[in-house]
Structure 1
Amino acid sequence: MYTHEKKVLTQGKPLSETGKALILIHGRGATPTSILPLAHELGADDFTRYAPQATNNTWYPYSFMAPADQNQPALDSALELIDETVKDIQAQGIASKDIYLLGFSQGACLTAEYASRHAQRFGGLLIFTGGLIGQELDTSHYKGNFEGTPVLITTGDPDSHVPVSRVDETVKQLESMGAKVTRKVYPGRPHTIIEEEIELGKKILAS
């Protein structure tokens, strides 16, 4: 098992000029360079963009619905890397309400899990095909209040990795913590991000 080195690819103007950050978390087998172009599609060229790199291009070894201890220590290390990235941004004077988190697939699961363990008023969360992590949800991990943070969560039905039932559990948890959630399930959609999801994401980033 492995832990993650701290490697974060950064794009765009410095935070001192943009005043807002978008953290993009790639999926299994992908890279920061493969997810960063999504920021442009989402109209986020005026954000400072951060994309952490998973060791071996994988955040944790097994399914996000496996017993959590099977994915350790990689899972905790991944969450720690996201936390360090958020804290590095905040240390430059950026409030959480100007920090947006985005992930696809395995990265979407990490986005949901990290945000729920550190709930606060984020700018927005874009959870493209993902949900909270664990065979069963351990709600003792989830702390804080989202204070109206807008959230987009999506999946296909069926999706090869993310069942609708876990998306629904995740929506319920996020809403109980004060998030304003938009849930979209696309019948027959392959494991990808479609144009409607991009348009919905744009609205959150522009809000």
Structure 2
Amino acid sequence: MHTKKVITAGKVIDKTDKVLIMIHGRGGSAQDILSLAAHLNTNDYALLAPQATNNTWYPTSFLAAPAINEPWLSSAVDVIDDVVADVIAKGILKENIFFLGFSQGACLTLEYVARNATKYGGVVAFTGGLIGDKIYTENYSGDFGGTPIFIGTSNPDPHVPVSRVQETTAVLESMHAEVYEKIYPNMGHTISHDEIEKANTLIFNK
């Protein structure tokens, strides 16, 4: 199982009212994903990046049946939930909690917020979709209350089919998120300058 280990950067959480939780991808690290903040409009945010055990949140593709990725998937969701609980315990409002993830981390980010939908500050998913061999809508509850969510992806992408991104957008919109989806032709499995710009314009604009 995952051990909760969180790397911090940015503002001290006691000295700000905005928090960004950053979720790294498969084979990546908390330090890797934190380095993105240099390009984001998050100077006033406390930055929290949990570290996956062995640098991987769950063992196989996000398109596998969820049982195949257990118990690691549930443990990963629990880690995010624990981080959110810690943030709330510091007096931060959920509407001032933001999420960002890349690849496997983007999938985990979207899965977490869909399972715990409420009015958040905003969500950025760089190449990701809801987890499972199909969309399990029974796992998702709550109301995003207009939370802005940006999802960017490549067409094609070697790990994330565009169809799953589009299905994910539909589910999030049905839960009253304000989803901004952008599909980039032949971008590759990376984060583009345009995606960073969109994240700053649409999400980190407060």
* TM-score interval (norm. to shorter): over 0.9
Which string of whole-angstrom CA distances, capped at 9 and with x for unpartnered residues, describes residues 38-70 of structure 1? Answer: 112112122000000000100000000001100
CA distance in 2, matches of 1:33, 1:140: 34
1:34 is aligned to 2:32? yes
1:182 is aligned to 2:180? yes
1:67 alignment partner, one of 47, 62, 65: 65
Pairwise CA distance, 1:12: 2.0
Partner of 1:76: 74
CA distance in 2, matches of 1:39, 1:15: 16
Q: Which letter maps to 1:91?
A: A
Number of matched pairs? 205
Partner of 1:124: 122
Q: Which letter maps to 1:121?
A: K
Structure 2 portions without partners, runs of 5+: none
Q: Which letter maps to 2:188?
A: P
Q: Which letter maps to 1:27?
A: G
Moved over 6 A (4+): none
Which string of whole-angstrom CA distances, capped at 9 and with x for unpartnered residues, describes residues 133-164 of structure 1? Answer: 00011111101000000000111000000000
Pairwise CA distance, 1:120: 0.3
CA distance in 2, matches of 1:185, 1:7: 33
Pairwise CA distance, 1:15: 1.9
CA distance in 2, matches of 1:39, 1:111: 17
Q: Which letter maps to 2:51?
A: Q
Pairwise CA distance, 1:13: 2.2
2:123 counterpart SS class: strand
2:190 counterpart SS class: coil
Decide which moves more: 35-44 or 124-133. Answer: 35-44
1:198 is aligned to 2:196? yes
CA distance in 1, matches of 2:24, 2:14: 25
Query: What are the within-5 Å matches in structure 2 for residues 120-159 of structure 1?
Result: 120-159=118-157
1:127 counterpart SS class: strand
CA distance in 1, matches of 2:188, 2:69: 25
CA distance in 2, matches of 1:136, 1:67: 8
The TM-score, its normalising length taken from structure 2, stands at: 0.98
2:93 alignment partner, one of 92, 95, 102: 95
Pairwise CA distance, 1:197: 0.3
Which string of whole-angstrom CA distances, capped at 9 and with x for unpartnered residues, describes residues 155-203 of structure 1? Answer: 1000000000000000000000010000000011110000110001012
Q: Percent identity?
A: 53
CA distance in 2, matches of 1:143, 1:134: 16
CA distance in 1, matches of 2:83, 2:109: 12
1:111 alignment partner, one of 109, 112, 120: 109
Q: Which letter maps to 2:26?
A: R
CA root-mean-square deviation: 0.7
2:204 counterpart SS class: helix
